[in-house]
Amino acid sequence: MKRRQAASAEERGAQKIRAAFEAARPHFAAAAFFSIFVNVLYLSSPLYMLQLYDRVLQSGSVQTLVFLTILLVVALAVLATLDIIRSRLLSRAGSRLSNQLSTTIMKTMVETKARGERNPKIAQAMRDFDTARNFFGGNGVHAFFDAPWTIIFLLVVTMIHPILGLIAFLGTVLFVALVYLNERLVRTPLNEANDANALVHSTSEVALNSAEAIRSMGMTDELSRRWGEGRANANNLQVRAQDRSALLSGIIRFLRLLLQGIVLGAGALLAINQLVTPGGMIAASILTARALAPLEMAVTHWKGFISSRQALARVREALEGAPIERTQQSLPKPKGELRVEKVYLRPPQGEGYLLQGISFGLLPGEMLGVVGPSGAGKTSLAKALVGLRRPAMGAIRLDGADVSDWSPDELGGYIGYLPQELFLIAGTVRDNICRFDAGEGVDERVIAASRLAGAHEMILRLSAGYDSFVDQNGGTLSAGQRQRVALARALYDDPSFIVLDEPNSNLDQEGENALVQTLKVLKQRNVTSVVMAHRAGVLQIVDRLLVLRDGRVEHFGPRDKVMAELNEKQKANQARLRAVQGGKTDDGGDSA
């Protein structure tokens, strides 16, 4: 079963890449079509030389020379024009690939990260895709379109004289062998260099995202040293690959010039014996050089070809994590009735359960407080409630429908979620609050959400108000300001169901008072709310209380009842502790 699922995931990644290339096929086909005329027109120069030596010099006709020269200029002008068109077609093919696949890659990156899965290929998927797109949209692909014409040019050389054709053919075979040798020698170190570079880039991104923690704990020097070692290793592997490629490129360039000279010398010998004309001798030399040109270009761009092939393979592996697209019925906006039915939740990678047999229900407008020690499963429950984690067993239902039956985008418009790990996206405060909504009436809804979150006055005090720019993760705002903006985003567009994970973790007393007022308004508006909390302040207004311990429900019920049970349990524990301590004292007295 697992093998079938793995095969299905692999096929899904390959299928998406094939679909992207299928969309770009018209551009590649047109480029191949124009390559026919480009290569035919490459014959104009050797034909000009042939006619020049065999006709013009023999006849001394200036008119023939002028006529042939005009034909050559026209042919070369058409050749240049068609070559430009071919390059433009390939450039647009790369753009078409980007349009077809970049959105899918981005969605896969977000979905994989949201599910908590660790896939190292995901972090660099977009960069890998750009590497592949740049190659397939660049001049390196010309070699693949021109390579079949090597045979045509060799046949033309053979038509001039079989001996010249044999020499050119043997030289081409040697060329192909060197190209193959180049691939064998360069592939391994270049693949290792690309993998090492990917690891270095990943390390630098993590370091930048955690710069404050790294700096505060004195890890900068050690991390920089390790990064430098990784960079040096990647550079050494790159240099080794480049050295091998440069050696073979030099040999191939020498061989091309040598072969061109040998053909010219053999042609001269044949011309002396009047077996070919002087024009045929020159034309054969030019055609031989042209026959070898695609192979030499292939060697020149071989590094790019290997890098793009490896990058495309990594993109395919990254896309194996793409969610299976399925038709999901559009459901009406929920009223907020929540039912959690014997939910078991596994970690994204690993064994065991984060949540075990969790069951409870809330009516529309009820507010639930979730408490428990660290590691009890509060954040895991929050992620499961909003559909970020799919239960291994059981179901989470909103108005009777399993949350997995909803389209993520549609469900996201009906719920509000404030994660424990705050994040903001580079853009304006307004953009972040409205979730980058481009619809109408956004400003009014943004202000309404900000007022409800108690963030309106704070935002107005910023340098540009709602148009203030925040960088990635909101680094230009304080932790408390980020939390208020994130809360306003969760409340945007009047959601029916709200999940707040530690909403007061970064708030001062003023901010916590504002949060309590926000929760009271949500109750008045009949919004179902679940609040994960450590502090007791927000628990004073909840309707029900759920106590988690080790992923299990320890207590659940009306707030006052659960609080009374907890107080009784605490008193019993204290009495038991006093009894144990008293027993120890008595033992000490007896022994005295």
What is the CATH class of 338-560? Answer: alpha beta
pLDDT value at 583 more than 70:
no
pLDDT digits (tens, 9 = 90+) for 30-44: 999 999 999 999 989
- Which of the given ranges, 8-12, 232-236, 500-504, has the highest pLDDT on average? 500-504
For the chain, what are the domain ranges?
2-319, 338-560
Q: Which residue has the tokens 């949209």?
A: 137
Tokens coding 179: 């190209």
The whole-number pLDDT of residue 241 equals 78
pLDDT given at position 6: 44
Report pLDDT for 5: 45
Round to whole Å and give the CA distance between 457 and 477: 15
CB-based contact 276:161 (threshold 8 Å): yes
- What whole-number percentage of the chain has pLDDT above 90? 24
Q: Any idea which architecture 2-319 has in CATH?
A: Up-down Bundle (1.20)
* Mean predicted lDDT score pLDDT of the chain: 82
Q: State residue 562's pLDDT score.
A: 87
Residue 367 has pLDDT above 90, yes or no: yes
pLDDT score at 116: 61
Give the lowest-confidence range in 28-32, 291-295, 303-307, 584-588.
Answer: 584-588
For residues 156 and 151, what is the distance between their CA atoms, to the nearest angstrom? 9
| CA-based R_g, the chain, Å | 36
Distance from the first to the final alpha carbon of the chain: 70
Q: What pLDDT, on a 0 to 100 scale, did the predictor assign at position 366?
A: 93
pLDDT recorded at residue 325: 55
Q: How many CB atoms lie within 10 A of CB 8?
A: 11
584 band by pLDDT with thresholds 50, 70 and 90? low
Question: How large is the average pLDDT for residues 126-139?
Answer: 80
Return the ∠ at Cα 580 (arms to 575 and 581), rounded to 5°. Answer: 95
> Within 10 A of 472 (CB to CB), how many other CB atoms are there?
13
pLDDT single digits (tens) 87-127: 999 888 888 888 878 777 777 777 766 666 655 566 677 77
Q: What is the DSSP letter of 503?
A: T
pLDDT of residue 134: 82
pLDDT at residue 443 greater than cutoff 70:
yes
Mean local confidence (pLDDT), 395-418: 85
Question: How many whole angstroms separate alpha carbon 478 and alpha carbon 373?
Answer: 27
pLDDT digits (tens, 9 = 90+) for 521-550: 999 999 999 999 877 778 888 999 999 999
Residue 479 to residue 507: CA distance in whole angstroms = 8
For residues 395-412, average pLDDT: 84
The pLDDT, as a whole number, for residue 592 is 40
Which of the pair, 196 or 356, is modelled with greater confidence? 356
Q: Sheet containing 393-398: which strands, arranged edge to edge? A: 355-362, 338-345, 393-398, 401-402
User: Could you tell me the two tokens for 175?
Assistant: 């060329």
Report, as an integer, the average pLDDT of 214-225: 72
CA atoms of 57 and 277, how far apart (whole Å): 12
Q: What is the dihedral of CA 424, 426, 432, 437, to 10 degrees?
A: -140
Predicted local distance difference test score (pLDDT) of residue 212: 60
CB 261 within 8 A of CB 278: no
